[in-house]
């Protein structure tokens, strides 16, 4: 089962727009050394929609080579095309990913039946564990609990990254799905209530810059140390909020630059965050104890 603090990796870029491979390798190893329990290359935080297929293959290959089986690798392979997603998922499996994170098709606005057949087609075409990424805020469509439960009957559908913001969702889903099913939140600020309602982890933006604090929170939860959970949750909350003061991953990449991990550069149509947002990020890093 996929669980705990899992990082949706940012993708570092050089000034000329190319992939910053050196920073990426160092960043992956820093994540693992600080307790991250899963690595997600080419997700939304990694600016997947602006990457070429060849760049995604390069990034996944690098992660596989660096991780060496220490933690699960969940490659972002979803697109708004079923055929393209199948192709991406097949390639991720060939490259050595342990699972695929597949976002609901954006812009197309498929019905619940369309969502079911989209994921069923991928399930049938590629023998690789699939985590559904439900993000209605970005994709417009919201997968229902009934559709999720129907898909969970398929062999390769093993979990969900839920970014609906509905903290009743994990309990409702748990009541509908009887097999082992990894419910992971995609909302950093909702980690604790999500865990309390039946979730088992988080695919996180914040863990890009505070991997140890995020990992420690999940470990404390599993150990039943609620006093430590409360303390870490309070420490991290300003950071969670700052990471979404503008469209992600703008703020988290700026934070990563302040910590010396990579450039804050994003790819168009994303842009450098405003000076006001930079101050919000700096203040949050100071208050969390990550910078002086």
Cβ–Cβ under 8 Å, residues 45 and 244: no
Q: Distances from the Cα of 210 to the Cαs of 6, 37, 130, in angstroms?
A: 12, 13, 27
For the CA atoms of 282, 284, 287, 288, the dihedral, rounded to the nearest 10 degrees, stands at -110
Positions marked catalytic: 133, 161
Q: How many residues are recorded in the chain?
A: 292
State whether residue 160 is helix, strand or coil. Answer: strand
- Specify which residues 6 forms β-bridges with: 38, 203
Picking from 285, 222, 220, 213, the residue whose alpha carbon sits closest to that of residue 251 is 285
End-to-end distance of the chain based on CA atoms, in angstroms? 38
Q: How many CA atoms lie within 13 A of 105 on its CB side?
A: 20
Sheet with 99-103: strands ordered across: 38-40, 4-8, 201-204, 182-185, 157-162, 130-134, 99-103, 74-76
């Amino acid at each position: 089962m996929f669980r705990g603090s899992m990082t949706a990796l940012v993708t570092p870029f050089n000034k000329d727009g190319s992939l910053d491979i050196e920073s990426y390798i160092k960043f992956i190893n820093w994540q693992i050394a600080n307790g991250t329990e899963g690595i997600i290359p080419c997700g939304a935080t990694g600016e997947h929609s602006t990457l070429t297929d060849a760049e995604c293959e390069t990034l996944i290959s690098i992660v596989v080579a660096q991780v060496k089986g220490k933690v699960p690798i969940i490659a972002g392979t979803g697109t708004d095309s079923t055929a393209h997603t199948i192709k991406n998922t097949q390639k991720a499996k060939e490259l050595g990913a342990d699972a695929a994170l597949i976002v609901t098709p954006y812009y197309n606005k498929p019905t619940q039946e369309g969502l079911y057949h989209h994921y069923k087609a991928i399930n049938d075409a590629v023998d690789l564990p699939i985590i559904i990424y439900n993000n209605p805020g970005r994709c417009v469509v919201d997968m229902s609990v009934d559709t999720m439960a129907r898909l969970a009957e398929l062999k390769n559908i093993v979990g969900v990254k839920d970014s609906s913001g509905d903290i009743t969702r994990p309990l409702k889903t748990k009541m509908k799905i009887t097999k082992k099913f990894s419910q992971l939140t995609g909302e950093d600020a909702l980690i604790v209530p999500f865990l309390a309602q039946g979730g088992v982890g988080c695919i996180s933006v914040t863990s890009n810059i505070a991997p140890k604090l995020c990992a420690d929170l999940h470990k404390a939860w599993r150990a039943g140390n609620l006093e430590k959970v409360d303390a870490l949750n309070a420490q991290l909350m300003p950071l969670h909020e700052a990471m979404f003061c503008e469209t992600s991953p703008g703020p988290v990449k700026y934070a990563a630059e302040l910590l010396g991990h990579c450039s804050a550069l994003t790819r168009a149509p994303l842009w450098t965050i405003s000076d006001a947002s930079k101050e919000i990020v700096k203040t949050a890093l100071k208050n969390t104890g990550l910078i002086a």
